[in-house]
Amino acid sequence: MEKRIIIIIVVIVIICAGIGLYKVTASIDQNLSNLTQMKIDDIDLLKISDGIYEGNFELFPVSVVVAVTIKGHQISKIDLIKHDNGKGAAAETILGEVVKAGSLDVDAISGATFSSRVILKAIENALKCK
């Protein structure tokens, strides 16, 4: 009888863990799908005064905080203050691409698309309506 109760408890725990894992996976998949469809607007730098602007964006499992330096209506520097990225550390090279292009209209880093898009959105948020 005792062995039967233990088996039932183990089966219930396994089922609950499976349901929990499914829900987490489904949530991550939905977030990543939203991220690939999310629009990233380019910014009119002529409307932005010199200064340092901080922006952030988070969409689980990626979280980013940036500081964007504007000089002479150009992006002169982007500091990555925070990047919780899972496996997307390669996306950090997109900062140099944005500075070089002077625009958010750059390609995502191959193999780190989701982190790239979150970084771009954080930069957009830093400069939006400034």
Per-residue pLDDT of the chain (130 residues; tens, 9 = 90+): 788 888 888 889 999 888 888 888 777 777 667 767 788 888 899 999 999 999 999 987 789 999 999 999 999 999 999 998 766 788 999 999 999 999 999 998 888 888 999 999 999 999 986 5
State residue 71's pLDDT score.
Answer: 96
For residues 56 and 67, give the distance between their C-alpha atoms in angstroms, rounded to a whole number. Answer: 9
State residue 118's pLDDT score.
Answer: 93
Three-state SS at 120: helix
For residues 117 and 92, give the distance between their C-alpha atoms in angstroms, rounded to a whole number. Answer: 11
Measured in whole angstroms, how far is the alpha carbon of residue 43 from the centre of its chain?
19
State residue 36's pLDDT score.
Answer: 72
Q: Which domains does the chain have, with CATH numbers?
A: 45-127 (3.90.1010.20)
State residue 105's pLDDT score.
Answer: 92
State residue 87's pLDDT score.
Answer: 66
| Cα four-point dihedral sign 40, 46, 49, 51 | positive
For residues 67 and 51, give the distance between their C-alpha atoms in angstroms, rounded to a whole number. Answer: 10
Residue 42 contacts by C-beta under 8 Å, 6 or more apart in sequence?
Answer: 103, 104, 105
DSSP state of 65: E
